[in-house]
Structures are given as C-alpha cells and as structure tokens.
Amino acid sequence: MMTAVEAYLAVRRAAGFTLNNPECLLRSFARFATERQQTHIRTATVIEWASLAASVAQRHTRYQTVYRFAQYLRLEDPQHDLPPTNHFGYRKRRRVPHIYSREEIADLVRAALRLPPADGLQPQTYAALISLLAATGLRISEALHLRVPDFTANGLLIRSAKFQKTRLVPLHDTAVTGLGRYLKQRQAKHLGGDYLFVSDDDQPLVYWKVHHVFRTLLKAAGLKPQGGRWPRLHELRHTFAVRALEASPTGRQRIGQHMLALATYLGHVNIYATYWYLETTPELLRDIADSAERLLQGGRP
C-alpha cells in the first residue's frame, strides 16, 4: 500500500500539487491498512480510519483524501473499493467575507502611510501592497512572491500562483503609476534584493508579519470586528471580485463571459470557485432570482 501511495503522490506533484497534508494522511492510512494485512482499499477500513479524527470536518478531509486515492488506483486495479462519496455528510460553510468600501480601503492606505519609521520604506511598502491587492485581487502569497522583473510593460507576471500556474495580470494605469512610484522610493533606499515588496532591512515581506501589521492598520483605520471576527487581508481579493461582478455589463450572455474572464484573471482553476463570489453580490443574486422566477412562470430567463 505504501508503494502505491508514493507513486500517487509523485504523479500529483508532477501536476503541480504540493500535497503536504494529503501526504501525511495517506501514509497514515497506508500504515493503518497494512496493520490489518490489507493490500487493497476497503470501504470499511477507510471509514474506520477516517472516524478516528476529532471533528466531522477532519473526518471528511481524511475520507475524501483516500477517496481520491482510490479513484486513481482503480484505473489500473478494480479490486480496490471506491467508497461512496461524502460518507460523513459534511458540507463546508464558508465564512461570509467582509467587503471593503472604497472609503475603508483609502483609510487603510492612509494608515499604512503613517506607519513608523516616517523616513523608512515601510509606510510606502504597505501602502503599495494594500493598493495592489485592492486593485488586482491578487492572493497575498502571489503579491509577496513578486520580483521586480515581474512588473512588466504588459502587466504583472505571476509565477508563484496556486497550483504552480503562471499568468499575466494586466494593470490599470493607476496601478502602473502607483507601483512605479513605489519602485522609485525603493530604489532611493539603495536596496539590492529583487523582491518587489521588502522591509527596511532589504528582506522580503513574510506573511505572518504582514498579517500582524494589517491588524494594526485595521485598528488605525477605525475598522472593527464583526461577529467577533476581524476583517481579513484576503478579503481584499473578495472585494475586488465582487466589485468586478457588480460592474458586469448588462445582458445574461455578457455576464457569463465576464465571469469566465474574471476566473481567468483571478487564476481560478475551476470557474465554480468564481461563482461563489455571487453569494456576496446582492445585485447579481437578485438578478438571478428574478430570472429563475420568470423561467418558472413560463417566460424567458
């Protein structure tokens, strides 16, 4: 069983997946099955092993990891069981994101410009980072991995994207101007590294520190927790997507085309990930509901 696990992981990694958590889970399952002298996946064993997790969500993750592994193995050996899908009946509930207003984003940028030291690069770095995330919807990991040469005449070249996909992100003229101004400020400090966003000691920004500084900026900008939870940095990406959908041109077919273009721009592998943003776009949800009602009444959608 362990040999099959290693072969499966090698194939998936070759396709661009990192698989840190699935690797641990599959090796654990392989040991569990081997202790029972099983060389093939058996549904009862999968359920028993997955049930050892503490929560329904964890049990679901364990179960689905082996389920995908079983799908792969059965392509060559049908003696493996294919467990029924979603045995534990788990349904992921996404946290409703905070959609930043334009005023809130402007307040965050102004708060960043007030960061200490006043004569250092940090204020300009965080102001430029927040502005870029709001203007492009980049993942924070993508922004932090940007190198200076990735800022091209045609846009930003995103090399360290999710699933190891590379894409070109066009920039609005205002974003080009803003990044260009930041680069001049960066060059004036005589910093030698090639990461785009760096600290005053010429080191690339790291996520944990950015997260900490962002919490400080939220407080300085007057934003407060909602339902006991602070707005998140990643929700600048949600905000970008929602505003883009709200700006969709009229006409059902053109909105569909706009959705596809947005999925490509955001770097989504599956367009269903983009459809989720409709849940936080009341205007488009209302449009969809009206169309569904007309369809049910015998009219055109």
Q: Is the pTM of this model over 0.85?
A: no
In the prediction, which pLDDT does 160 show? Answer: 62
Answer yes or no: are the C-beta atoms of 238 and 276 closer than 8 Å: no
Tell me the per-residue pLDDT of 107-162, one tens digit each, with 9 for 90 and over: 999 999 999 999 999 999 999 999 999 999 898 989 999 999 999 999 999 986 55
Contact by Cβ (8 Å): 52, 38? no
| 157 sits in which H/E element | strand 155-158
DSSP 155: E
C-beta atoms surrounding 247 within 10 Å: 8
- Max CA-CA distance within the chain? 68
User: 235 or 258: whose pLDDT is higher?
Assistant: 235
In the chain the domains, ranked by start, together with CATH numbers, are 2-74 (no CATH), 102-220 (1.10.443.10), 235-296 (no CATH)
Whether 266 has a pLDDT exceeding 60, the answer reads yes
In the numeric block, the tokens 């996404």 are attached to 94
What is the set of active-site residues? 139, 162, 234, 237, 268, 277
What gap in Å lies between CA 8 and CA 22, rounded to an integer?
11
Of 108-122, 209-223, 232-246, minimum mean pLDDT range:
232-246
